[in-house]
Amino acid sequence: MDEIDSIGSARMESGSGNGDSEVQRTMLELLNQLDGFEASNKIKVLMATNRIDILDQALLRPGRIDRKIEFPNPNADSRGDILKIHSRKMNLMRGIDLKKIAEKMNGA
Please write the tens of the pLDDT for every residue from 27-61.
Answer: 899 998 888 877 777 788 899 998 989 998 889 88
Sequence-separated (6 or more) residues with CB below 8 Å from residue 82? 74, 102
pTM: 0.62
Q: How far apart are CA 108 and CA 102, in angstroms?
A: 9
3 state SS of 55: strand
Burial pattern 34-56, b for ≥16 Cβ within 10 A else e, equals beeeeeeeeeeeebebeeeeebb
Tell me what pLDDT residue 81 has.
Answer: 96
Tell me what pLDDT residue 63 has.
Answer: 80
pLDDT single digits (tens) 84-107:
999 999 999 999 999 999 999 987
